[in-house]
Amino acid sequence: MGVNMAFWNTGGIQKRWMLRNIGMIMFVLLLFVAASTFVIATNLYSSMKNDLANRVRVDTNNLAMYQTKSEYLSAVREFTDSYQDSSKIEVQYLLNNGKVEQSSYSLTLPGSVINSPDIVQAKETSEIADWMGKNQETGERILSVSAPLVFDGETQGVLRYVTSLRLVNQQILFYCGSIILIAIAILLMIYFSNIYFVRSIVNPVVQITGVAKRIADGSYGIQVERRSEDKLDDEIGDLLKAINDMSKSIQQAENMKSEFISSVSHELRTPLTAINGWAETIMNGGTRDETDVKKGMGIIASEAKRLTTMVEELLEFSRIEEGRFTLSVEPMDIKAELEDALYTYGELFVGEGITLSHSDCEEDIAPILGDPDRLRQVFCNLLDNAVKHGGTGKKIDTAIFLEQDEVVITIRDYGNGIPEDELTHVKEKFYKGSSLARGSGIGLAVCEEVISLHDGTLTVENAEGGGCKVSIRLKYRKNVL
């Protein structure tokens, strides 16, 4: 009882569902009970009428065999007086004026006048007629069937059969009660099955809502518990899984963002320390040797360039996050942009002792639609990564070629490669993995965004024989001018 009261005291979807469902079902069941009772009562009353009508028809036909009127009327009186089934049916012989001439039931006295509708109709139409109503003397509901007594073409009176409806009404009440009990049983089954069904939906939703609020309050990574009794293999289960995945993703994003902030802080601090140290040394005259001064200025320039690169990456990332990252598309020479990037990094390769091997496309590549500045930025970023992460191999291979309807650019280093479990994450924002090389962790994410906006693909994989290979595929359409 406490559980049911608690249920009805709750608001929301449970109560609305139950009130509307149970209300509609109750209405349907009431209609069913009423219709069933009506049909049963109609059939029982009709059966009784037909039975009495058949009896009176047979009896009047049997009385019609007499030759004279006196014999006929005498037989009617004798039949009425000695009727065998008088405990259930009363037989009355009435004259044309409505007076009772003879009755099989002692309470109906001869001389009594009865003018019920069935008697009047039987005399007027000379046909069998029936009527249901209350007995004027006892107030009991009765069914009467009257047939005209016709002899030699003249109506001599009316033979009337009367029976009580008490037993029939009791039978109707019994059937009605049985139907009501069945309807109540159906209602209870539906009620409890609805409670179970609604709670199987609402309870997980309430649980998920609570977890979602905690996630909104900052409890990232919290999971919705899956109870053993819950069969969540439907849409609710999908929602639960989605919330858990979202919470886990938010936690991972927050962890990566924290690691990113820590990493960027460290990455910024290192060059700034070098710049400040050498700037103060040179400014204070701590060294007057021209070689040391030149070396210090070189370090300042190099570290300043690295700071500029990181700031540019951060700006690009900010534009991506805010949806302001756009392209200036125009017909461009993809080979020329790649060669410019290679030339830009040529001195760096020499300084690092890295050998560059470039395989050019043997056939001419027509201009393609793209943003030259963004694509050059991608090439430079990937070449910089090849130096930082694969420089130990002291060799970098690059290539550009046509493959069916695509322009393919590959950059391959001969370093240690990428651990297999990190390959699927290297293009994620803030991800740095186990690499000890400097960087913000968003360079590849920016490259991926640029290539995606060009309707191309960027893949990172470990190359056969060691090292890492990055492939860029851009759609190639001739005659874009």
Domain coordinates in residue numbering, the chain: 15-170, 235-321, 326-475
Report residue 252's pLDDT band, with 50, 70 and 90 as the boundaries. confident
Q: How much is the average pLDDT of 461-466?
A: 88
CA distances from 68 to 72, 79, 151, 178, 306 (A): 6, 16, 9, 55, 139
Q: What percent of the chain has pLDDT over 90?
A: 21
DSSP code at position 392: G
Two tokens, residue 237 = 């289960």
3 state SS of 366 = coil
Q: Would you state the structure tokens that stand for residue 114, as one six-digit string? A: 């009865």
DSSP structure class, residue 423: G
Token representation of residue 273: 């320390």
CATH code at 326-475: 3.30.565.10
Between CA 384 and CA 332 the distance in angstroms is 23
Over the stretch 200-219, which tens digit does the pLDDT of each residue have?
Answer: 777 777 777 888 888 888 77
* Both tokens assigned to 477: 């359409």
CA angle 329, 331, 336 (to 5 degrees): 110
Phi, psi of 302 (to 5 degrees): -65, -45
Determine how many CB atoms are found less than 10 A away from the CB of residue 362: 7
Supply the mean pLDDT for the chain.
Answer: 81
More confident of the two residues 443 and 32: 32
Rounded CA-CA distance 171/180 in Å is 14
User: Measured between alpha carbons, how far is 400 from 337 in angstroms, rounded to an integer?
Assistant: 11
From the CB of residue 358, how many other CB atoms can be counted at a distance below 10 Å?
13
Range picked from 65-69, 198-202, 304-308 for highest mean pLDDT: 65-69
Distances (CA, A) of 360 to 9, 105, 407, 477: 77, 125, 12, 19
Choices 2.70.98.10, 3.40.50.720, 1.10.287.130, 3.30.70.2700: CATH for 235-321: 1.10.287.130
How is residue 99 annotated by DSSP?
B
Tokens of 194: 């609805």
Please list the alpha-helical segments (H only) found in 111-220. 117-125, 166-216
Cα 219 to chain centroid, rounded: 26
Query: How many CB atoms lie under 10 A from the CB of residue 464?
Result: 7
Q: At what angle do helices 13-63 and 69-81 cross, to 10 degrees?
A: 140
Identify the pLDDT of residue 1.
41
Distance CA 80, CA 159 (A): 9
Q: Measured in Å, how far apart are the chain's first and last C-alpha atoms?
A: 80
Amino acid identity of 141? Answer: R
Distance of CA 225 to CAs 205, 206, 207, 208, 235, Å?
Answer: 12, 12, 9, 9, 16
Confidence of residue 396 (pLDDT cuts 50, 70, 90): very high
CATH numeric code, 15-170: 3.30.450.20
- Per-residue pLDDT for 438 more than 60? no
Same fold: 15-170 with 326-475: no
